[in-house]
Amino acid sequence: MIIIIICTIVVLGAMVCDIVRRRQYKPSAQLRELKQSLSPEHATQGNSIETYTNISQLIPPLLRDIDCAKEYVLFQFFKFEKDSLGMVVREALIKKAQDGVPVLVIYDAFPGSIVKHSFFREMQRAGVKVHRYNPVLPIPSAYSNNRNHRKIVVIDGHIGYVGGMNIAERYLKGVHNGDWRDTHLRIEGAACQQLQQVFMDDWRKQSSATDIDLPTLYLGNADTTSATPTQPAEGAQPAQSAIQIIASDPEDSTPPILQAMIQMADSAKQYLYIQSPYFLPPKPLQEALCEAAKRGVDVRLMIPQRGDRSIFISYASRSYLKPLLAAGVKVYFHTFGFIHAKAWVADDKIAMVGSSNIDFRSFTQSSEVNAFVYDTIFTQQMRQIFEQDMWYCDMIPQDWWQQRSIQERLLQVIVKPFAHLL
């Protein structure tokens, strides 16, 4: 009994200390700027973009950029698995650290991770600085359910990666019925400084001020004028894109990324195409999409026919479709493999690619980061990608809701009340 009481006191004490530490934490002024409303006025100019729709396209340029790094590498993924792909990427980071280039790695220590900590300890022994984000064990925290879902790479302050892909072999192998379809961006330009601000704020949350020479790297202070120029990636758009990086955290009373999505729906005039692996929208977003369709906007939503984790998520997503179908939204079930892309495009004027799903977890419990791009050429490319993906979809008829089987109706009724937990 005494042991139980002591353990309880220790756990409660740790939770209190964690709450105090988090309340004392203040996001940087630069990060607060990345939580402003959606507007070209907040975008950086003159960026070039390369778009990848599967991980086999992403890995070669990523490894090349890591190998060419001269100043530093900032590397953050929600999942960084100990498998054949993870080992290749880990070796590239270790080699760069052994060359004397600072390498900082953040990975989310979520409970379901299959990664052994030895995988990262070997990186640390080789000189890579590693932080686990919000570890759950050995002592749980009041914030244990808050995860970092971001995927960020910044190299020498002028090359960056952001999107929906993780470092995991399953992205190469796909799923039982096809490929793993995702969207990720490689960016060159000033927008990388905004990505760096988000990364370093996450780093600061998990470390002390003396853990790294922050003035050298923190919030755009890195000297990128001497950075070795790289050849533009094959297929990259010219350096003309305006990009606004928007970040959101569980601490936000009003999630900036959710607000930006609602703004995109409210401002759409001709079309709005959306891809998301999950569709559990808060009511304001659901209403914004319905209102857009009612005023004549061609609103199209593409979600997987089958979920990647369980059938419950699929049924929960479908339970939100009734008002959209009634409003005239065109809904597509992606049937080949699994679509994990988090991408929006509207009116050939603005597009969004990032880590945020359309679900309550992304908006209230996870740290996310999305790139909003104001560029006609890029948005046209994103629209074409969506239209190509439609070849692998079944469009849901307007009367689909009434034709659902008894089993589907029952499962949707059962799982929808738990949507906030999925």
CB 83 within 8 A of CB 114: no
283-289: long-range contacts (C-beta < 8 A, 24 or more apart)?
284/258, 285/258, 285/261, 285/358, 286/320, 286/323, 286/324, 288/261, 288/262, 289/265, 289/324, 289/327, 289/329
Range scoring the smallest mean pLDDT among 82-86, 106-110, 400-404: 400-404
Active-site pick, 82, 96, 151, 334? 151
Q: What is the pTM (predicted TM-score) of this model? A: 0.85
In the annotation, is 298 catalytic? no
Among 245, 271, 284, which residue's Cα sits nearest to residue 39? 245
Supply the pLDDT for residue 215: 40
| All domains of the chain in start order, with CATH | 45-240 (3.30.870.10), 244-421 (3.30.870.10)
Q: Percent of the chain at pLDDT above 90?
A: 55
In the annotation, is 340 catalytic? yes
Active-site pick, 79, 184, 342, 349? 342
Supply the pLDDT for residue 13: 46
Supply the pLDDT for residue 394: 93
Here the tokens at position 84 are: 């054949």
pLDDT by residue (tens digit) across 280-299?
999 999 999 999 999 999 99
Q: How far apart are CA 155 and CA 63, in angstroms?
A: 11
Supply the pLDDT for residue 70: 95
Supply the pLDDT for residue 316: 75
Strands 44-52 and 103-108: unpaired
Strands 147-148 and 366-374: parallel
Q: Residue 175 pairs with which residues in a beta bridge?
A: 178
Active-site pick, 35, 149, 158, 184? 149
In the annotation, is 179 catalytic? no
Examine the pLDDT at 332 and tell me if it is beyond 60: yes
Examine the pLDDT at 300 and tell me if it is beyond 90: yes
CA-based diameter of the chain, in Å? 68
In the annotation, is 26 catalytic? no
Supply the pLDDT for residue 395: 93
Averaging pLDDT over each range in 30-44, 125-139, 376-390, 398-412, which range is the top one? 376-390
Q: How far apart are the first and last CA of the chain?
A: 36
Residue with more model confidence, 253 or 105: 105
Q: How far apart are CA 200 and CA 74, in angstroms?
A: 9
Active-site pick, 347, 359, 375, 389? 347
In the annotation, is 149 catalytic? yes
Active-site pick, 340, 349, 359, 389? 340
Here the tokens at position 31 are: 């990060």
Here the tokens at position 337 are: 């493999």
pLDDT by residue (tens digit) across 43-99?
999 999 999 999 999 999 999 999 999 999 999 999 898 899 999 999 999 999 999
pLDDT by residue (tens digit) across 229-262?
344 455 555 668 999 999 999 888 888 999 999 9
pLDDT by residue (tens digit) across 187-233?
999 999 999 999 999 998 877 544 555 445 544 444 433 333 344 45
Write out the H or E segment, with its range, that includes residue 286.
Answer: helix 283-294
| Secondary structure (DSSP) of 383-395 | HHHHHHHGGGEEE
The residue whose two tokens read 């990666």 is 161
Average pLDDT of the chain to the nearest whole number: 82
Among 201, 222, 218, 184, which residue's Cα sits nearest to residue 370? 184
| Rg of the Cα atoms in the chain | 21
In the annotation, is 65 catalytic? no
Cis ω on the peptide bond leading into residue 138 (within 30° of 0)? yes
Examine the pLDDT at 272 and tell me if it is beyond 90: yes
